[in-house]
Amino acid sequence: MSTYCIGIDTGGTFTDAVLLDTATGKVAQQAKERTTHHDLSIGVAKALTKLFSMGIAPGSVTQLAVSTTLATNAVVEGHGARVALFVLGHVRHFKLPIVANIFLKGGHTITGKEDQPLDMEELIDMIQGLRNEVDSYAVCGAMSIHNATHELVTEKAISLVDPGKPVFCSHQVSTHPGMLERSATACLHAKLQPLMVSFLSSIQRAMLTLDLQCPVTIICGDGTGASLEKTVERAAVTMASGPAATARFGATGEHKTALIVDIGGTTTDICLVKDGVPTMSKQGCRIGQWRTHVDAVDMYTAAGGGDSHIKCNPKGEITLHSYRVQPLAMTPELPDPKHWLKTGKDSYLVLPIETNGDHQSTDPVVQYLLANGPASPSRLEAATGIQGIAMEKRLERLAYDQHVILTGFTPTDALHAMGLLDIGNADASLAGAAVLAAEVGLSPEIFYKQSLAATSSTIEKIILTYLARTTWSMEQAAVLLNQKSNDFFSIQFSLDLPIIGIGAAAKYFLPDIAKRLQTTVSFPEHFEVGNAIGAALIGMEQH
């Protein structure tokens, strides 16, 4: 009897699944479903159900391998658990994008000798002050890789003063020097753990509904597999999980040396394959402003995909923003955009998600939405008294916690409006384009064409940023790319290697980008679900 390996890739927009024959490595079945953020198991279960619609029995599945970009998406969009970082020792102050960076006396020397006593009084005071402000903690002591005593004492103090919250010590997640990178690595574990616990639970629930009882492998950023337990303990190992699967799939193509570009709904991921092998990062994974010691493929991830929010101002300038919203075309029972959609503050609509979460009984925004239905930010401000940035941050948090959905105009809507995509309600996209186009004085046709041009430009810059940083220092790359065009000259780039496109949106953007960069682009068979195939291939190699 034939046996199969399932590969699953859960991204910010779609959950892909494939069924690979373990003997031939061929795709027997594939599925694509919208990622259901309020309950990830729903989207996963729908995708798995499609795989078995051809009569293949769950009992014939010997392995399930999972890759995900949820961790990288959370970092790029600035989401995740609220983290406080304690840094112990003489160290120049640095800033990470978390709730609190606290610097205390303590730490050790390079020989492991105590440099100065740990400031216990200040430590206890700070923990007590943070108890209601954070979800988890990270601790990084000077030279803790040689003596972890102060980190362990701090961990114990946190467990006594604020019990039940996870604590990640840098010596447990990195053996390399470099306080900033070790701190960032510990912070990312703390920031991503709740997300990964929820995700892995959703995988297990989906498997139970289909009576799937095979071993599960989670794809790590370095292209290896890990157990569910290790992934919970070290959530940041999944930081480049999606790109690792991308690279593995890209390495199976006809081009043994190529640039792999995966355009998803939330981010664009870039990696390089040389001589049929994905290149590995020499210094640890870097995503956005986070430099870490997480082992990973050499990759670059940046916000920009099919569900990125397209915004415009009264001057007619159209830009692609870093955060993801639900496309108008993919929002059921969407109120007519002409009644709420505008440029500026009201460029998106807030919709409630009906669950039994505790927040819904107390949060005034959710209470109003549940009683009155979808509302614009301005209407919510008037109803609740929460104004400006405070409302913006409240909505971001509620969206991350899956209490509300934010819907707005996206590249996916532009593709629907142009008749290039037909997976949702094109009428909603056309209505949204008409409203925004009128506000900025453009025809609808020009508006959505310029929306796609802004998206294409963003993706092209992501590609060039990765290659420039690979060739030069970050500072040199930034100067070069930011000054491509000025009053005296312009710079054009020509790539000396081909592009391999992955992801459902790739075929709509990469051909024009490749033409501008004077190279070629190819789309391997099943490129729309390439990450799921890459995950399955890694899973079979690890099994």
Residue pair 69/228 in contact (Cβ under 8 Å)? The answer is: no
Rounded to an integer, the average pLDDT of 439-444 is: 91
In the predicted structure, residue 360 carries a pLDDT above the cut 60: no
CA distance 165 to 137: 8
Q: Whole-number mean pLDDT of the chain? A: 88
CA distance 117 to 518: 60
Q: Please, is 117 exposed, middle or buried when counting C-beta atoms within 10 Å of its C-beta (0-12, 13-18, 19+)?
A: exposed
CA distance 434 to 417: 10
pLDDT for 288 equals 64
Q: Where are the domains of the chain?
A: 81-188, 254-325+448-523, 326-447
CA distance 373 to 481: 45
DSSP H helix total and E strand total for the chain: 18, 23
**Distances 324 to 261, 266, 316, 395 between C-alpha atoms, Å:** 19, 6, 21, 13
In the predicted structure, residue 236 carries a pLDDT above the cut 80: no
Residue pair 334/428 in contact (Cβ under 8 Å)? The answer is: yes
CA distance 298 to 278: 8
pLDDT for 499 equals 96
Q: Which percentage of the chain shows pLDDT scores above 90?
A: 52
In the predicted structure, residue 123 carries a pLDDT above the cut 50: yes
Residue pair 47/16 in contact (Cβ under 8 Å)? The answer is: yes
Rounded to an integer, the average pLDDT of 395-421 is: 91
**Distances 44 to 124, 227, 287, 511, 543 between C-alpha atoms, Å:** 43, 19, 26, 31, 22
The CATH class, in words, for 254-325+448-523 is alpha beta
Q: Which residues contact 533 (CB under 8 A, 6 or more apart)?
A: 7, 18, 20, 27, 245, 249, 526
Q: Give the pair of three-digit tokens for residue 463.
A: 């590609």
In the predicted structure, residue 497 carries a pLDDT above the cut 90: yes
Q: Which residues contact 264 (CB under 8 A, 6 or more apart)?
A: 11, 12, 13, 14, 69, 242, 305, 306, 503, 505
Rounded to an integer, the average pLDDT of 181-186 is: 90
Residue pair 467/490 in contact (Cβ under 8 Å)? The answer is: no
Find the helix packing angle between 530-542 and 241-250, rounded to 10°: 90
Summarised one tens digit per residue, pLDDT across range 33-66 is 988 877 888 999 999 999 998 788 888 999 999 9
CA distance 208 to 68: 20
Nearest residue to 382 via CA among 393, 368, 370: 368
Summarised one tens digit per residue, pLDDT across range 390-404 is 999 889 888 877 889
CA distance 103 to 87: 5
pLDDT band at 108 (very low <50, low <70, confident <90, very high): very high
pLDDT top residue among 455 and 177: 455
CA distance 138 to 243: 26
Rounded to an integer, the average pLDDT of 175-195 is: 88
Nearest residue to 306 via CA among 405, 415, 396, 407: 415
Q: Give the pair of three-digit tokens for residue 221.
A: 């950023």
In the predicted structure, residue 355 carries a pLDDT above the cut 70: no
Cα radius of gyration (the chain): 24
Nearest residue to 436 via CA among 313, 307, 333: 313
Q: Alpha helices, DSSP H only, in 162-238?
A: 170-173, 179-209, 228-233
In the predicted structure, residue 357 carries a pLDDT above the cut 60: no
Phi, psi of 313 (to 5 degrees): -115, 170
What predicted TM-score, i.e. pTM, was given to this entire model? Answer: 0.82
pLDDT for 358 equals 45
Summarised one tens digit per residue, pLDDT across range 446-491 is 998 999 999 999 999 999 988 888 877 766 777 677 767 677 777 8
pLDDT for 140 equals 95
pLDDT for 327 equals 95
